[in-house]
Structure 1
């Protein structure tokens, strides 16, 4: 019988081929490019705000004649209103992205995910080019046009995460999934760094060239995905992860008496066996009813609210609270991402060793409360602040990466959907879509709390959100709900309903 430290057979690495490596890299960098475009928009906000305001308020703008005609074509009378509109675009994007995730998950399970992902990347690149480059070249500035493009961009970018997680779930089984997905989920942080580098390299020529470069790279990435990505091992004749694990799962399950086995025997007909080879996508309602899906979706809404608040507000907090230079605050905020990368990988590794995600997740969330308390009282010292920031990222970003990647893959591959196994993209879309709704609401709440009560109350709000996940410390409830397949008896979707 396999022990907790054997990774359910101990040979999971030996099963990897060069196809697994290619799939890992292609999905990693495809989502990195999608995240890079979001970071590009954040990095050029100052330039956009200056361009959208009259020249007499913008000392760096090129003087164009006639001045009266040029100034009248600008969107906003001052930089404050321009900045407020840019924040509104962030909120619009997050809400449309959240809605799109629910839809994209369903589409991904019903169409070829390579086509869906490639279409999302290429079409999103075209929208970003129109938003930041074409409008500037044509000197066309219109609020409603910008809002429409950014809503469309959110919907198109939502095709990314459900598809890449589903493809990774098709190639990597639950043995070793925690550490693999923990390392792979660093794609968002790598995308942030890549977006910052691409934007800064051409920003001196104008913000429109930052959009042009990022959109071009993203479009090229979509073409590579269309011709190079294999969505499942079955496409090239390799056994799927469920077939590989079927023989390994039996020794790990508790013994079932003959009576119980006979009771379930009639449910497995020839038609149902053929269904495994020709999977049919489950409905959105069925995916929501799967054990653990709604529980983890609501939990991720609270966790992603805190995680994305750090992503959007941390540099501003460091500059505003400690009076550090904006460039220094931007560089220092990277340590939060570093903590999240290390946390997701290490916690995934430990969960693989234990063959349980719940205890690791519960322990990390409890320690996250202490890390938030500690960071809220950080002294005006960059070294101490970076250290506390890294610890906070470890205990918040780590669980966030685990839920959005490894646990979503676990839920989409649980044995309750063996009769309708095309569920992974739908489940991932539900989990991440619910989380994105929480993140979108959080950006408004953080701004409201900070303006009226101060930064300390923002941290109290974060602590409240993390504390609301205290039910994760109940291991028995979690293990029943998360549907990881450890020690569970196989049941078909038809049996469940």
Structure 2
């Protein structure tokens, strides 16, 4: 039977309705794509610094306008590691705060202000300082710390907005596709930097922050944070909107959110996993340039294959998890496979084809679980039974898990350059494998509880089935006995008289 096409419907809309279990309006499309690309721009600003690190190091150590800003490449590399660490610490602290505020105040305005402040700090950090040759370590740290705090508004609020608009019928599929926004942003930032870098490392920053600022303007004036946020101008619908807002339960609160089952385990697991993923994020282009001696633009283009693997994993694993009884089991098996992918990549030959393929695998098995935890799993936890269907803890849950993960990432950005300096790149990859082992151990108790719960449910179903069969047999026996008794009553007098 051909798909039904209504007055406003199309074949694609009918397909999405079948997959997601809900009708996609124009607002659904707008919310999905705006939040997707706005957070992609946020990630692109971070990736720009990681991509242009060799150029920044060269500029800082060979300043033609005066004495070099940094004494050596080693000092410049460590200072960049300090910047990454400062960014992640501030980002982590901001996530705990922004996630809670996102459940109490207007998400649309908070998101817009956060993106605008991030665009301003990136513009000053990357463009103004280099254009006017303002080289100051405290200024660099201040601007990048401001950027970290500003960007912390993005993820928890955008996940909450997505949770308000999209239901749970196909959460793995929808959130799996949507969570690829970070990897797409990495690719956008890398491609822009690799093509514009020849004019100076400040111009990639200028382009990215301009795009981010434009999305902040659109978010402030046009992005509806929830279906009930729409103002149609109708008095009747305005009254309905007020009733919906009045009937919504109050936010769960920061400390009570930690008590939701699974939040602590996934927070610790996410800290270890983000240690590895952000290690690739911040240092992969530099590793390809410094460790494998490839040109900077060549290394930038090659590093995008890691993000391609993460995008594929987000879509495939997200869709597959909707057809499984547990997302945790799929994440667990992908984490086990990540050991092999990381070890093999650490032994990769100096071949573009082989390196790209192995980066694809590493991105699939490392970036995939990270995207699933930060989107689908977070949405599941934020919509748990304890909340009674209320989404008012979703931003807080997102902030807690992503904030804890960013703490682990901050530790990683401090340790990676020092480990590489003292022990080499192989030691860095062994550290990555150790952190993946810790991630697996943190998730194991959650998987064990889910399997026990499934076993109990299966036992109850089997017991109920046996009871229903027993009741059916008793019912049949009862009918048989009833008929026999009726026959005895019907023939009782003649038989007794005969005897």
- TM tier, smaller: 0.7 to 0.9
Question: Which protein shows a greater Rg?
Answer: 2
Deviation at 1:315, TM superposition (A): 2.9
Aligned equivalents of 2:80, 2:305: Cα separation in 1: 26
1:357: how far off?
0.7
Determine which of 278, 286, 295 is the counterpart of 1:325: 295
How big is the shift at 1:369?
1.8
Question: CA separation of 1:473/1:143 partners in 2, compared to 1, >3 Å: closer, same or farther?
Answer: closer
Aligned counterpart, 2:219 = 225
**Contact 2:265–2:446 at 8 Å: present in 1 too?**
no
Deviation for aligned residue 1:386: 2.2
| Distance (Å, rounded) in 2 between the aligned partners of 1:78 and 1:371 | 34
Q: Deviations over 1:334-365 (max 9, x none)?
A: 21111111112111111101142111111111
Q: Which whole-Å deviations, capped at 9, do the CAs of 1:243-282 have from their partners, x for residues lacking one?
A: xxxxxxxxxxxxxxxxxxxxxxxxxxxxxx9888333122
Unaligned 5+ segments in structure 1 are: 1-8, 62-69, 239-272, 488-497
Matches within 5 A, 1:434-445: 434-445=404-415
Question: What does residue 359 of structure 2 align with?
Answer: 389
Give the structure 1 partner of residue 431 of structure 2: 461
How do 1:146-157 residues align onto structure 2 when only pairs under 5 Å count? 146-157=140-151
Q: Of 186, 190, 194, which residue of structure 1 is paired with 2:180?
A: 186
- Among candidates 382, 385, 397, match of residue 412 of structure 1: 382
- Contact kept? 1:379, 1:385, Cα under 8 Å: yes
Asked if 1 retains the 8 angstrom alpha-carbon contact of 2:78 and 2:417, the reply is: no
Q: Which runs of 5+ in 2 are unaligned?
A: 1-16, 233-242, 459-499
**Whole-Å separation in 1 of the counterparts to 2:112 and 2:211:** 13
Displacement after TM superposition at 1:161 (Å): 0.5
Q: Distance in 1 between matches of 2:412 and 2:74?
A: 21
1:31 equivalent in structure 2 = 39
Aligned mates of 2:212, 2:225 — CA distance in 1 = 19
Query: CA–CA distance in 2 between the matches of 1:77 and 1:383?
Result: 37
Matched, 1:81 2:81: no
CA distance in 1, matches of 2:370, 2:138: 34
Structure 1 residues 479 and 44: CA distance shift in structure 2, 3 A: same
Structure-2 separation of matches of 1:139 and 1:319: 26
Shift of 1:373: 2.7
1:35-434 correspondence to structure 2 within 5 Å: 35-53=43-61, 57-58=62-63, 61=64, 70-71=65-66, 75-236=69-230, 277-418=247-388, 421-434=391-404
Deviations 1:286-338 (A, max 9, x none): 11111111110000011111111122222333344443333333222221111
1-structure distance, mates of 2:165, 2:446? 28
TM-score normalized by structure 2? 0.79
TM-aligned CA deviation for residue 473 of structure 1: 4.6
Matches of 1:404 and 1:194 in 2, distance apart?
Answer: 21
TM-score, length-scaled by structure 1? 0.79
Q: Tell me if the contact between 1:166 and 1:424 (Cα under 8 Å) persists in the aligned partners.
A: yes
Cα separation, partners in 2 of 1:138 and 1:461, compared to 1, 3 Å: closer
Moved more, 469-478 or 364-373: 469-478
Label 1:211 to 1:325 Cα distance change in 2 as closer, same or farther (>3 A): closer
SS of equivalent residue, structure 2 residue 169 = coil
Gap change, CA 1:341 and 1:47, over 3 Å in 2 = same
Structure 1, residues 365-387: CA drift from partner, whole Å, max 9, x if none?
11222222332333343323322
1:158 CA drift (Å): 0.5
RMSD: 2.9
Indicate the SS of the match to 1:141. Answer: coil
Q: 1:344 to 1:15 in 2, by over 3 A?
A: same
Residues 413 and 280 of structure 1, relative CA distance in 2, 3 Å threshold: same
- Does the 8 Å contact 2:270/2:439 carry over to 1? no
Q: Distance in 1 between matches of 2:220 and 2:303?
A: 35
| Deviations 1:2-61 (CA, angstroms, capped at 9, x unpaired) | xxxxxxx966345222221111101001101111111222333344444444xxx45xx5
- More displaced 10-residue stretch of structure 1: 78-87 or 185-194: 78-87
Q: Per-residue deviation at 1:114?
A: 0.5
Question: Using the alignment, how far apart are the partners of 1:146 and 1:135 within structure 2?
Answer: 9
> d(CA) in 2 for partners of 1:134 and 1:346?
42
**Alpha-carbon distance in structure 2 between the residues aligned to 1:442 and 1:377:** 22
Contact 2:186/2:307 (CA < 8 Å) preserved in 1? Answer: no
**Contact residue 382 and residue 393 of structure 2 kept, 8 A:** yes
CA distance in 1, matches of 2:413, 2:123: 26
2:27 equivalent to 1:19: yes
